[in-house]
Structure 1
């Protein structure tokens, strides 16, 4: 879960004066400089980090930083591996980041004091503490400098940079995906000459796939020790469900619609988006993830059938912009993830990654159902009858929706087994959509830069006020 961020926003001088004149508000702490920021806790106006951390404001700033520190630790619950990650993050705060606004002399003095005092390392000081429970004790064992450093990183919005970026499992491909398109061998002198073979649609698909593979950086070379280390560090694909029904058993006498393949794209984009957004930790919050998938995928939530690639992916991109918007760059990059999923792990297993993704979603919806049932049981005991009825109805509806989604995913798994070669044929269309969005975004950025250069700021200059009365000479 992303760490809480505090934004320091510049204040409007005209609003600070209260009189509506052009004077600038003075810092409430030093009473000398003009104020630029406002404390998010006590609303005091201040001019710099030095004033914010001053003795006059220490009662508020230290309590505020302590609360946010506790909130970060509370959000890191889980296994021993999770606690180890948090310890590594705290150590990086201690070693890699220094106060952004601190003078060099002040840093040297603090370094000398800590050296003379023989302060133990952070790992030694918090050894034996449970980071999930002993939050107050962990904060107390930090030095004053460590608390200030944490506060500085928090205010600068750099806390997220300390979290390692998760590497998706679908980006790993075997080298045999690269196919060299050779010309037909020359006819034998004994055999009669054959007419030249006419290029087919399959040839075009193979050529497009070769370009995509090269563009994705999949190289046909020998595996090195470094490759093995990186592969071990990355996550493994989720296990495919053992029991996948035959498509004929699912449909009985019916025939699969032509829109199935485009509906599959809609689901895959939604899955890749939320998994990327959660940085690979999506299994920790099954209910929230189930809601996010339903928000993005119209196929899962409303049984919408799509008729082409662009319509299917554009729907998911649009829904993401409404509910989970990150950035245009992020939304476009997920199209590349869809390409990876469609490529599969190797040339002889084109459906492996698609089935892993569908199986992962199936288990997540199942985990959400179990958690909802447990919460319903607990709420029945602890809440008021009227409140309990409303909560139970909403959770019961979500429980039913998750069950229906599991059945839909079982259908897509069955369909994919019998149509294993069809998804790859959509890769050129997905790539074309990715390049189109990328070109539009680059053009938008160029236009934006040109306007900002002309304005001298990231906002246009204010319009001149129209005079109601003008003196004529």
Structure 2
């Protein structure tokens, strides 16, 4: 392993042929030095397929219900009419023509199975396909609805409260369900280190970042892989003695990660999200968001564990249509997950949740 890393360090970037390579493309195996080179025209065919994978995965995850169809229609309309606002001087005839196109699009896809990406792709015109590909090469987030985290709500304390107020209770129904865990004193007789609260903060900050990074829609194995990539406490049992260093650790790991592309603004949002989770929905229930986040993480890790076990037994080949060939699914860029490490972290997360429940604070 050390020899292969040494050979990689000695290679020049295969794209700019100037700088020393730092990375290797998992698809075409070309060595490159930076994100700019990865996205350059010389590497365009390969890099584009990565973004197309994301869209393919998104399409394949939909269930063919009325709500899913409505969202897909909205997305395609936005793709089709993204320049309408810039053309305020359009004639009445052009506007009528656009209306006819929207109706035609709705009719073409209304009876399709949205689990079948190839059927949806074949229903589009050539112009619509070109527009769709242009969005994939650009900013997919501009046409997808923005996820709103459940931890954004907080009820400020007031001197006089209405007895009938149920605002907080209604919001808590939108949070992940709390897991039932053993009492803390049944798990250990040893007094926990003061570091446990800061270690939990490191986990919560990682969770907050990853949930926003995937816009609230996560694949469990992908989510666990990314969480372990940025959370030092779960990945390497690192202990923290301050809240600031626990959060800053996530910031630095995100910036250093080869799996994640982020910026300072997103990392500032992560810090604010962590603060909101620690603050909780109300002054008299400030630990609820911590418990909800850890409960969700336990579910995510449990699902990843089950998926890892299943994937080792099943290897089903699927026939590929036009869309599947054009935007092939590929998760090979992710490092392999160790199922035993996932199991150990499930136990750790349950330990942290039990600590919070027993102490009723973060």
2:151 is aligned to 170
For the Cα contact (< 8 Å) 1:171–1:340, is it kept in 2? yes
For the Cα contact (< 8 Å) 1:344–1:351, is it kept in 2? yes
Does 2:219 match 1:237? no
Q: Helix, strand or coil for the counterpart of 1:75? A: helix
Q: How does 1:450-469 map to 2 (within 5 A)?
A: none
- Aligned partners of 1:134 and 1:335: how far apart in 2? 37
Q: Helix, strand or coil for the counterpart of 2:312? A: helix
Q: How does 1:94-173 map to 2 (within 5 A)?
A: 94-98=80-84, 120-133=103-116, 135=118, 137-143=119-125, 145-154=127-136, 157-173=138-154
List per-residue Cα deviations over 1:28-51 (Å, max 9, x = no partner): xxxxxxxxx899459xxxxxxxxx
For the Cα contact (< 8 Å) 2:62–2:114, is it kept in 1? no
The structural deviation recorded for 1:363 is 0.8
Provide the aligned C-alpha RMSD in A: 4.1
1:85 is aligned to 71
For the Cα contact (< 8 Å) 1:166–1:279, is it kept in 2? yes
- Go from structure 1 to structure 2 and tell me whether the alpha carbon gap of 1:111 and 1:342 turns closer, same or farther (over 3 Å shift): closer
Give ranges in structure 2 of 5+ residues lacking alignment: 1-15, 17-40, 318-331
2:274 is aligned to 338
- Aligned partners of 1:94 and 1:125: how far apart in 2? 14
- Aligned partners of 1:87 and 1:315: how far apart in 2? 41
The structural deviation recorded for 1:132 is 2.8
1:34 is aligned to none
Q: How does 1:336-415 map to 2 (within 5 A)?
A: 336-378=272-314, 398-415=338-355
Q: Helix, strand or coil for the counterpart of 1:256? A: coil
For the Cα contact (< 8 Å) 1:74–1:132, is it kept in 2? no
For the Cα contact (< 8 Å) 2:232–2:249, is it kept in 1? yes
Paired residues, number: 299
For the Cα contact (< 8 Å) 1:286–1:367, is it kept in 2? yes
1:249 is aligned to 186
- Go from structure 1 to structure 2 and tell me whether the alpha carbon gap of 1:69 and 1:258 turns closer, same or farther (over 3 Å shift): closer
Displaced runs of 4 or more, over 6 A: 67-71, 107-115
- Aligned partners of 1:331 and 1:359: how far apart in 2? 23
Q: How does 1:39-54 map to 2 (within 5 A)?
A: 40=44
Query: Please, which moves more after superposition, 355-364 or 84-93?
Result: 84-93
- Aligned partners of 2:358 and 2:98: how far apart in 1? 67
- Aligned partners of 2:345 and 2:58: how far apart in 1? 28
- Go from structure 1 to structure 2 and tell me whether the alpha carbon gap of 1:320 and 1:129 turns closer, same or farther (over 3 Å shift): same
Q: How does 1:280-291 map to 2 (within 5 A)?
A: 280-282=216-218, 285-291=219-225
2:236 is aligned to 302
- Go from structure 1 to structure 2 and tell me whether the alpha carbon gap of 1:165 and 1:133 turns closer, same or farther (over 3 Å shift): same
The structural deviation recorded for 1:377 is 1.3
Give ranges in structure 1 of 5+ residues lacking alignment: 1-11, 13-36, 43-63, 181-219, 383-390, 424-473
2:208 is aligned to 272
- Go from structure 1 to structure 2 and tell me whether the alpha carbon gap of 1:404 and 1:123 turns closer, same or farther (over 3 Å shift): same
- Go from structure 1 to structure 2 and tell me whether the alpha carbon gap of 1:148 and 1:239 turns closer, same or farther (over 3 Å shift): same
Larger Rg: 1
